[in-house]
């Protein structure tokens, strides 16, 4: 009987301490809403320790699809937005949810496809022409279909090609409704074409028969922007700490850190903050 009582007291103490310890570690931190593809590229693992080392501010990254990342900002659940969908970002600012948008860097998308290359697009430099060929032969194509920046870019390319891919939904055009990684997994198992960001691809281990087939087209460049969630709309936003992050990432030091991130010797992100 006594043993059980003692055990109960211990249990409650430990459970309580769980939350107390958290509260006690009330460090300086900001919440940054970003995208899954950015996190999965590994950039944050490289960049944030440098920032924290310099400023003592910890950065908590919530990685979601662009749509949800912006929604989180709209609700005031994050301090800073760091996404790559210029159109959506500018609307975000126009609607009053964000302030002080700055361009930070760009990375590029690449077209991934099976080595067997049924649409015969490998080695090409024209992404729109490649898309047309894929639709012409009805080669399997995987789309993220999740309102992400990558998805938005993909849809813009289809539009430029004058094709409505949704007509092929369920046959050659497959929407997974998921992130870059899971979608790549799906392509790998289906031997399908897929538009991906270079960062996720370089980190992706489960390639199967897939390889890069088209890259370098200007239209594949993917611009990143950073902005503060509007403190006028959400007074609790950590505007000073958040602004410190934004100022740092467009500064020489931040831009150099971005350029310094390499996978297998290859640079992923190209800093282009305006002076």
Nearer to other proteins, 18 or 170 (CB): 18
> In this structure, are strands 29-35 and 80-83 parallel, antiparallel, or unpaired?
parallel
Nearer to other proteins, 187 or 222 (CB): 187
* Torsion on CA atoms 72, 196, 173, 193, rounded to nearest 10: -170
Considering only residues 13-32, where is the footprint of other proteins by CB under 8 A?
14-16, 18-19, 22, 31
What's the min distance (Å) between Cβ of 162 and other proteins? 33
Residue count (the chain): 275
Nearer to other proteins, 63 or 119 (CB): 63
Nearer to other proteins, 179 or 254 (CB): 179
Q: Using an 8 Å Cβ cutoff, are 54 and 248 in contact?
A: yes
Nearer to other proteins, 58 or 102 (CB): 58
> In this structure, are strands 193-197 and 141-143 parallel, antiparallel, or unpaired?
parallel
What's the min distance (Å) between Cβ of 125 and other proteins? 27
> In this structure, are strands 266-267 and 29-35 parallel, antiparallel, or unpaired?
unpaired
Can you point out the beta strands (E) in 69-134?
80-83, 98-114
Nearest residue to 131 via CA among 109, 106, 108, 107? 109
Listed in sequence order, the DSSP H helices in 76-192 are 86-94, 127-137, 149-160, 180-190
CA distances (Å), origin 124, targets 110, 127, 129, 133: 11, 8, 9, 11
What's the min distance (Å) between Cβ of 186 and other proteins? 11
| Out of 46, 50, 77, 132, the residue judged to bind other proteins by CB under 8 A | 77
Token readout for 100 is: 């002080």
Nearer to other proteins, 133 or 198 (CB): 198
| Out of 50, 172, 234, 243, the residue judged to bind other proteins by CB under 8 A | 234
Q: Binding of other proteins at residue 186 (CB under 8 A)?
A: no
Q: Binding of other proteins at residue 75 (CB under 8 A)?
A: yes
Token readout for 136 is: 């012409």
What's the min distance (Å) between Cβ of 249 and other proteins? 18
Q: Binding of other proteins at residue 74 (CB under 8 A)?
A: yes
Residues of this chain that interact with other proteins (CB under 8 A) are: 4, 11-12, 14-16, 18-19, 22, 31, 36, 39-40, 44-45, 60-64, 74-77, 178-179, 181-182, 184-185, 188-189, 200, 203-206, 208, 234, 236
């Amino acid at each position: 009987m006594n043993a059980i009582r003692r055990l109960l007291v211990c249990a409650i103490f430990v459970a309580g301490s769980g939350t107390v310890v958290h509260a006690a570690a009330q460090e300086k931190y900001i919440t940054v809403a970003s995208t899954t593809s950015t996190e999965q590229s590994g950039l944050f693992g490289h960049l944030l320790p440098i920032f924290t080392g310099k400023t003592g501010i910890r950065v908590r990254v919530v990685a979601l699809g662009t749509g949800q990342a912006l929604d989180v900002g709209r609700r005031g659940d994050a301090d800073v937005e760091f996404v790559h969908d210029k159109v959506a970002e500018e609307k975000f600012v126009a609607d009053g949810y964000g302030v002080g948008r700055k361009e930070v860097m760009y990375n590029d998308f690449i077209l991934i496809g099976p080595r067997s290359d049924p649409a015969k697009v490998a080695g090409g430099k024209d992404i729109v022409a490649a898309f047309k060929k894929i639709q012409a032969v009805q080669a399997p194509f995987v789309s993220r279909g999740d309102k992400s920046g990558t998805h938005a870019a993909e849809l813009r390319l289809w539009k430029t090609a004058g094709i409505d891919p949704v007509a092929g939904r369920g046959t050659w055009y497959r929407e997974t409704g998921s992130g870059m990684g899971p979608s790549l997994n799906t392509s790998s198992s289906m031997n399908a074409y897929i538009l991906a960001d270079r960062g996720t691809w370089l980190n992706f281990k489960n390639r199967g028969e897939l390889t890069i087939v088209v890259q370098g087209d200007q239209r594949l460049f993917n611009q990143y922007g950073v902005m503060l969630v509007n403190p006028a709309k959400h007074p609790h936003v950590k505007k000073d700490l958040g602004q410190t992050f934004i100022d740092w990432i467009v500064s020489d030091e931040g831009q150099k850190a971005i350029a310094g991130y390499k996978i297998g010797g290859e640079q992923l992100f190209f800093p282009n903050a305006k002076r």
